[in-house]
Amino acid sequence: MAEQEMNLPEEEEEVDVFTLTDEEGNEEQFEILGSIEFEGKVYYAMTSVEEKNDEYVILRLEGEEGDDVTLVTIDYDADGSEDQ
């Protein structure tokens, strides 16, 4: 009997998608690329699901209340240090 090769579909990776709401009430979906804890704070690298590009944002976790999570953008001084 001849051997047959089967190409089975690869399992799709599960993607964490979150809807973020900005200060003006605009909603946009983001995918988490990764997270890291640094100096006692948690940071997330996220990319827009709707905009298909290689850009990403880094947000810092500020608080959690039930299912709601507060993430803030990171501002830097001219010397490269993070504003608190």
DSSP, residue by residue, the chain? -------PPPPPPP--EEEEE-TTS-EEEEEEEEEEEETTEEEEEEEESSS-SS--EEEEEEEEETTEEEEEE--B-TTSPBP-
Give the pLDDT means over successive 10-residue stretches in the chain (84 positions).
54 74 90 93 91 87 85 71 56
Q: What is the pLDDT of residue 1?
A: 47
Q: What is the pLDDT of residue 3?
A: 56
**What ranges do the domains of the chain cover?**
17-73
Q: Is the model's pTM score more than 0.85?
A: no
Which tokens belong to 43? 């940071």
